[in-house]
Amino acid sequence: EVMQASGTDAVHPGYGFLSENDDFARLCEKNKITFIGPTADSMNLCGDKMKCKAAMLKAKVPTVPGSPGLVTDVDDAEKIANEIGYPVMLKSVYGGGGRGIRIVTNDKELRAGYESVTAESILAVGKSAILVEKFLEKTRHIEYQFARDIHGNTVHIFERECSIQRRNQKLIEQTPSPTVDAETRERVGELVRNAAIAVDYTNLGTAEFLRADNGEFYFIEINARLQVEHPITEFVSGLDLVKLQLDIANGEPIPFKQSDLKMNGYAIECRINAEDTFLDFAPSTGPVPDVTIPVGPGVRCDTYLYPGCTVSPFYDSLMAKLVTWGQTFEESRTRMLAALNDFYIQGVETSIPLYKTILSSEEYKNGDLSTDFLKRYDMIERLTKDLKKEKEEKSEAALAAAIIHSEYFKSRVQNNTANNSNWKYKLD
């Protein structure tokens, strides 16, 4: 009604909210309003994990071993789990953003996990259907940006490494991935192009994969929208992805070929969340009396924060996307550390201290990433030690400053015993 009343020609759904709601996209189509994204049918197919998986298998895009169809009974789920072997992942067909997922290692955990995933799915969308998939240990989460126009032109716009996560939700993304070489990039990129064609996708989307420890890539899903982390792709490709979305939605062909695209430099994104790392990443909400946003060459910060704003409990905990670029990975990493140090948010707990610990770790610097990175390398424990060390260093610095201050004023006091009285005569 709002769009009709305002004479809207087109709508960009952003991310979250209605961005992957095929009913909304279909309503736009029905009312001759351009939805800047895929068609409603394509979005519906991408959102149905089982149908999407079937389309990928038909297109010869490798998928994670698991149930051949939807699982609607816990006994069937247990049978499949024992056939493919534990650990397995229970995944709601209607889940997203890391929700509706449980990793289980035995029959008892499976039954409890099945119940909780079902409840989460019903609470979120009013229905439930579950997939059972083999859980691949020490995997990396690598996704590919792609674009396809109504003329059939299809390109991938390189990969993004999104392995550092908590509760299956991304925290830090980077591109290029330290584990993807030029040959792999093109090989998997061809799978991505095939995936986009398989679901008749138009506009921009993201194909997500798990990379197993043996180097094999397995398709997970297609995100039928612009991703939160798209700025890092813009940095290394030189493209304005939102403009590209608008042009494709306007019926224009993609203005470049796959061979025209070249990666330039390295980019990292940290999702600045309002949450308490030490309370299992519980949301932290309330007023923000003061804030300092980092700026500088190769630094970009997309945020709603301003002095006096409020972090609401009713929305996602993401407050800002902090992105840095450099000619080398090390330049991008050190810029990010400097930007994190400059980022000041008063009033709520944030994920900034955790990111400083992660980016300073040898494992991160060496590219030894995995979806269980936080647990595998005890990052929370390391953060505790880093904060304790930082507190001690500040105390020592304050003490040193106090001593210097005291000595300085002592040196200004003269030991003068001369009689400076203005009285001519003094009586004893």
The residues, ordered by sequence, that sit 6+ positions from 209 with a Cβ below 8 Å of its Cβ are: 141, 142, 143, 144, 188, 217, 218, 219, 220
Q: Is 329 exposed, middle or buried (0-12, 13-18, 19+ CB in 10 A)?
A: middle
User: Which stretch of DSSP H or E encloses residue 140?
Assistant: strand 140-148
Biggest CA pair distance of the chain: 114
Looking at the chain, the number of H-run helices and the number of E-run strands are: 14, 19
Phi/psi of residue 318, nearest 5 degrees: -65, 120
Q: Nearest-CA neighbor of 274 among 328, 346, 221, 337?
A: 346
Residue type, 357: T
Give the Cα separation of 262 and 243 in Å (integer): 19
Does 376 participate in catalysis according to the annotation? Answer: no
Which member of 102, 148, 211, 225 is catalytic?
225
**Cis omega (within 30 of 0) for bond into 87:** yes
Residue 181 token pair: 């070489």
Give the Cα separation of 209 and 213 in Å (integer): 13
| Strand ranges in 224-290 using DSSP code E only, listed in sequence order | 266-273, 275-276, 282-283, 286-288
Pairing of strands 10-11, 34-35: parallel
Give the Cα separation of 142 and 154 in Å (integer): 19
Give the Cα separation of 145 and 140 in Å (integer): 16
Which residues make beta-bridge pairs with 318? 273
Query: What is the DSSP track for 32-76?
Result: T-EESSS-HHHHHHHH-HHHHHHHHHHTT--B-SB-SS-B--HHH
Q: How many other β-carbons are positioned within 10 Å of the β-carbon of residue 383? A: 19
Q: Nearest-CA neighbor of 121 among 66, 52, 227, 49?
A: 49
Indicate which residues carry an active-site annotation: 225
